Structure 1
Amino acid sequence: MPRYLGVLLEIGLIVFCLIECIQAPPGRVRNLPTWAWILLILFIPYVGPIAWLVAGRPTAASAGRSVPWPATRTAGFPEYERPAPDDDPAFIARLAAAESDSDDRRLLAQWEADLRARESRARDAEQQPGDGSDGLRPPGTP
């Protein structure tokens, strides 16, 4: 088992460094071009991957970042950093002053009255066959 540990370590290091080298932005790789780093990682065991980690891979400063994570608690989503509307006293005052609720109730009552009137007219028209002037056909006509 210890004999295979070195081989597994080498393969893991090569795979890690190779993936990282391929994904690195070409302008940010240090000291050698990307293709040279790939050849170095693949053909020189242990030394190539370690050299990539030490001297080739982009640093956080060269990648244009000062820290590897966002500086805010909300992971860079500004919509979570804004205060909620119910935290704003002016918003709450506008809600209290608005009488949209009473307007909505009045409109709903009007719609219900109109619906009841149309239903009663439709029931009356069904009970009394008309001449068709009310838009309803007598029963049994196509």
Structure 2
Amino acid sequence: MPKLLIFIGLAVLILTVYTVVDCALFERKRVRGLPRWVWIFVIVLVPLIGPLLWLFVGRGRGASPVGRSFRTVAPDDDPEFLRSLNNDKDTRERLRRLEEELADLDKPEAKKDQDVPKTTDPGEGDQPGRRDV
């Protein structure tokens, strides 16, 4: 039984030291509920409950940038990204030309088969004397 009490006392001491250091080094804007110096007093004066209160109540969540949510937003859902796009006349013209080129590539070409000479003899290729099997 004394070994268990020593172990529990050591665990509470380690938890207390960790939470005091965490509270002292934590960003001022993210401390919730009480001022930082009050949290340090609560952690030190109330041995087990003080550190647990700091971890679950006083310690704020992850930092979020000012004016933005912390979640990831896809580029097409982000209004700032959409505003930053350059929608000038040159860009629209370039996109139109690219779309026309893609449409031309999709059209079937009848001349394509007529322009290629057909050879029936396997020896009449680019390399004379070679017979591909």
TM-score, L = length of structure 1:
0.43
TM-score, L = length of structure 2:
0.46
